Amino acid sequence: MAKAVANARRLRRRLTDAERALWRNLRDRQLDGHKFRRQHPLGRFVVDFVCLEEKLVVELDGGQHALQKNADAARTAWLNREGYRVLRFWNNEVLRNTDGVLAEILRILQDQA
């Protein structure tokens, strides 16, 4: 667990442009009052964003994810078994259509309520 926490801290200092763009809109309960954490350890994984109260994980994928489909699938399966719902967006989708991504996240949060 200590390794995941150290990794999370490192990742928080090195956000991608897409992560930074989304975080600007998720932080401080800006999305309908939902609290999100960024680069948060869950088990042996560090997820990009999580709303712990709603058990919703938001992952942003860059080009490297095309090469690690099996690892991403195993990670998603573990998160699902732990009761988390996982949303995935491509980095370029976040950068080009941040409002659309936020609307989809909010729709899923409202569907869960």
Q: What is the pLDDT along the chain (113 residues), one digit of tens a residue?
A: 676 666 556 655 678 999 999 999 999 999 999 999 999 999 989 999 999 999 999 999 986 645 677 888 999 999 999 999 999 999 999 999 999 999 999 999 999 75
Q: Tell me if the pTM is above 0.75.
A: yes
**Which residues lie closer than 8 Å to 80 by C-beta, 6 or more apart?**
86
In degrees, rounded to 5, the angle at the alpha carbon of residue 2 between the alpha carbons of residues 48 and 88 is: 15
Q: Using one digit for the tens of pLDDT, what is the confidence trace for 35-63?
A: 999 999 999 899 999 999 999 999 999 86
CATH 3.40.50.1360 fits 2-112, yes or no: no
- DSSP one-letter string for 81-100: HTT-EEEEEEHHHHHH-HHH
Residue 88's Cβ-count burial label (10 Å; 0-12, 13-18, 19+) is middle
Q: Which two tokens stand for residue 37?
A: 């954490």
Handedness of CA 71, 77, 80, 85 (dihedral sign): positive
